[in-house]
Structure 1
Amino acid sequence: MMAVVSRHISVLGREAVDFLAPRAGGTYVDATFGAGGYSRLILDVAGTRVIGIDRDRRAILGGFDLVDRSDGRLTLVEDRFSELAEICAARGIDAADGVVMDVGVSSMQLDQSERGFSFRHNGPLDMRMGQGGPTAADVVAKASETDLASIIYVFGEERHSRGVARAIVAARKETPITTTQALADIVAKVVRAKPNEIHPATRTFQALRIFVNEELDELHLALAAAERVLKPGGRLVVVSFHSLEDRIVKSFFAERGKAAGGSRHLPEVALAAPSLRILTKRPVTPDEAEVAANPRARSAKLRAAERTAAAVHKPVASASWPRLSDVMRGG
């Protein structure tokens, strides 16, 4: 067993790994490596092998010490977690014993002002988890008022989205919006928060972050990739932090957890057998002690399922929400 002292405890980390149930000699995918909380716990089981994926180069660089201590059992890959099946195949892994995902922005990213994820720390309006692609400042500068309103409403569930979009367009005519503080101030003039409520800019920042990183499309693709790569009996464990993510996970599990395919008009067509057996009838949530220690954990929900021997289900199209490529080319 590899004895290491964890410098980071993932939200619902112990519960997630308990559901993952790593066994000696098994191969696992930590699809959102972050600070390596899940990987450390998995590697504590003798002989396990972990493929750690993260699109954030800083997370990969920060994990090199764990790679050194893992005696070759941990491999880190800088990439999107939607590519996990291809990443495994490129490393000779035909089937994995488990996949774990911690969806959304990490505490480390939120705390780095230069990344521009949080209105609580003034910095450049960036919000990218990876190295390439448009920044949040690019989106704010380029998107039409209609697109901005749609982005903020769909991904932030902000009921004042039209007013916020109108204010952004008016402000950018005067001067470019390039910092988190500038954007937060614009939003705060439209969205009035009552005492003890979330900051007025919370939903707008969430929306832009999800949009810039294409997080919901990535989640759809990553779940389908996990279904393909898991061997029968392999486990899929997902921790999400807001309702949009959890809705996607819940829907995916429900679709794969029941027979699919056939038609009442074509009774001779056999239904596809369930490809997942759901392990969590209701989502697992943090206890009071964890929330007290880490307030960001309060909205976390864990769902888990086990791969059956059935064939992979036909892909289900993701929702028709605003797409980064369309908005940035003005389409």
Structure 2
Amino acid sequence: MPPLDLTRSARLSVAPMMDWTDRHCRAFHRCVSLTTLLYTEMVAAAALARGGAVHLLAFDAVEHPVALQLGGSEAEDLAVAARMGAERGYDEVNLNVGCPSDRVQSGRFGAVLMREPAHVARLCAAMREAVDVPVTVKCRIGVDEQEPREALPTLLEAVRAVGVERVTIHARKAWLDGLSPKENRDIPPLDYGLVHEMKAAFPDLHVSINGGLATLDAAAAEVERGLDGAMVGRAAYHDPAAVLLDADRRMHGAANPCAAPEDAAVAMIPHIEQHLAGGGRLHQVTRHMLGLFAGRPGARAWRRYLSERATDPDAGIGVLEAALAHVTRAAA
């Protein structure tokens, strides 16, 4: 099958998740699915543009298609950061207009930008002028007392006017006053209907939905109902096999790279060996693999063995192989 373009890959994507979707997590997810669009953790534009933190842009070519998510509210910083990401090979640059954390609010970026659609449009315009790769937006349906049916189309109109062609909508409000970031992921009610309304109102926009999608079936159902894509977050991290193992066949009619979770574990060995050879530690990779056998016989032993042994300073591939043997014995 020929390489998929980003529009096609975005039929299914894994959400940017702080402390989770680092380069090792993305390499692992790519072993399980060749077509799913992957995102970095949110990277502060100022850290790149003014702090020179280029290490935050590290990724492996095997991760393609992969998008860089940026957070920021200064057009110059975002333009410089976007250019840095594009020059290093990222396929897309995404602007975070959805994160509700206190740190993000204090920096006037993330979900707080839902209140400033014209400013978001200026930021997107600056980024688009700086790069040739697509600039996209991930947002909420509104914040605090905003009326989503007013706030969301206003934002979409603004970014579409400056050339943004793809958006991902987390189908919940963000309550910046009164809820913690964790509570903001669960408490505000989901409004999938509104996201579908936005697709009908903006048929030229590629619209992906995010929020509460716990299975591949649920993600596929939203696409089958008329959306262009679905983005899965925590479920893809905690149970990657259930979400990603059959994703290439289900979403694209392509062959899945792994027939079973065991195959994905073995496929990660070259990446792990390269990481260890460079002075890295085993647990920096395997911490993202703990959910690989969720719901399977031996899953608890797999998690326990890796959690206890992978942190040893001299832990190597043998630890992974021993953990995998626990699963094999339990399945016998």
TM-score (normalizing by structure 1): 0.31
Query: If each structure's helix is expressed as a fraction of its own residues, which one has the higher value?
Result: 2
